[in-house]
Structure 1
Amino acid sequence: MHAVTFAAVFIALYVAHSLGDHWVQTSHQSAHKGRPGWFGRLADARHVATLTLTKLAVLIPAAALLELHLCVLGVVAGLGIDAVTHFWADRRTTLAWQAKVTGKGEFYRLGAPRAGYDDNPHIGTGAYALDQSFHHLWLLVAALLIATV
């Protein structure tokens, strides 16, 4: 039963993540969450709060409709670890540092606009790919916690 619950929870979280990270997140949050100091931290916290609420808003009806038996502690633990790691990565300097120390610094900078130019009008950058894959890893951990606690 854990495997079925895990699969359903992961799918719900994955879809909710995409919605929350791209549709629910405001332009202000996106533009400012990586800025230094409290201004950036607050923008990031607002993003993570709405993202987590989006995940909960998708997970609860999915669990009810699929008759999944989820423990409140598991949901809190799973969404909590997801929120903390999402906040950490979205501060931008943290994920850039991780890319650098793991030998992915060049990939992280792939597709970024050149200094003084806005010559990459799409979202397909190395930084974006590493950001999303980092979030997907923690969605997996969150789903495992939710399904097994």
Structure 2
Amino acid sequence: MNAAILTAVATFAAAFCTLWAAHSFGDHWIQTHFQAITKGAPGWGGRLACLRHVATLTATKVIALGLVVLMTGLRLPLLATAAALTVDAASHYWADRSAYHADRRGAVTLERLADRLGKGDFYRLGIGTAAPCGTGAYALDQAWHHLWIFLTALAIAAGGAG
């Protein structure tokens, strides 16, 4: 295997592991309770809460990637990394706008996608107010984010290939 391939594989692995850990921490520890319960609400209040959540989540990912670069000497392609994190942030915002909110009537994003893919019943599994992290909505939300973490790491690695 040549050095360029090894570098791309190492970059992907480091980016993926870092983004996975940063996502988990940012989505569960950094996100405020207000953001969590408001980000799916209709109107500007919900939009702004979701934007704040996505901004702090993305900042957590940037800090984590920065620590990996600082501690390991790994070189990340700046433009590819910035573009990939921007797409990741947009995908996170899109999915989180359908977060559970008691006053919301019909989600317009992730729930609708789940319905169209035949996963609507799974999405609605469980009681959101009693155990929001044990619901089908939560499982599908996290699976959506994990897919985008994979794609983000792949884009970062591909951006440094060549």
Answer yes or no: same fold by TM over 0.5: yes
Q: Where do 4+ consecutive residues of structure 1 move more than 6 Å?
A: none
Q: Which amino acid aligns with 1:141?
A: L
**Structure 2 letter corresponding to 1:80:** T
| Helix, strand or coil at the partner of 2:133 | coil
**Which residue of 2 is the match for residue 127 of structure 1?**
137
Structure 1 residue identity aligned to 2:27: D
1:147 corresponds to 2:157: yes
- AA matched with 2:152: A
Is residue 2:66 matched to residue 1:60?
yes
Q: What is the aligned partner in structure 1 of residue 9 from structure 2?
A: 3
The answer to whether the Cα contact below 8 Å between 2:51 and 2:93 also exists between their aligned partners in 1 is: yes
**Structure 1 unmatched ranges of 5 or more:** none
- Kindly indicate whether the alpha-carbon contact (under 8 Å) linking 2:132 and 2:138 is maintained by their aligned counterparts in 1: no
State the distance in 1 between where 2:42 and 2:93 align: 13
Size of the aligned set, in residue pairs, is 144
- Aligned letter for 1:133? A
SS of the aligned residue for 2:41 comes to coil
Query: Which residues of 2 match residues 37-56 of structure 1 at below 5 A?
Result: 37-56=43-62
- C-alpha distance in 1, partners of 2:155/2:84? 5
1-structure distance, mates of 2:46, 2:35: 8
> How far apart, CA to CA, are the structure 2 residues paired with 1:112 and 1:24?
24
Paired with 1:84 and 1:105, the residues of 2 have a C-alpha distance of 23
Q: Percent identity?
A: 52
Q: With structure 1 as the length reference, what TM-score do the two structures score? A: 0.93
**CA deviation string 1:107-127 (max 9, x = no partner):** 0011125xxxx5x33621100
Q: Which runs of 5+ in 2 are unaligned?
A: 1-6, 99-106
> Partners in 2 of 1:72 and 1:28 — Cα distance?
33
User: Structure 2 length as normaliser, TM-score?
Assistant: 0.86
CA-atom RMSD, angstroms? 1.1
Q: Describe the SS at the equivalent of 1:123.
A: helix
Aligned to 2:102: none
Query: Hey, what's the Cα distance between the residues in 2 that align with 1:39 and 1:67?
Result: 41
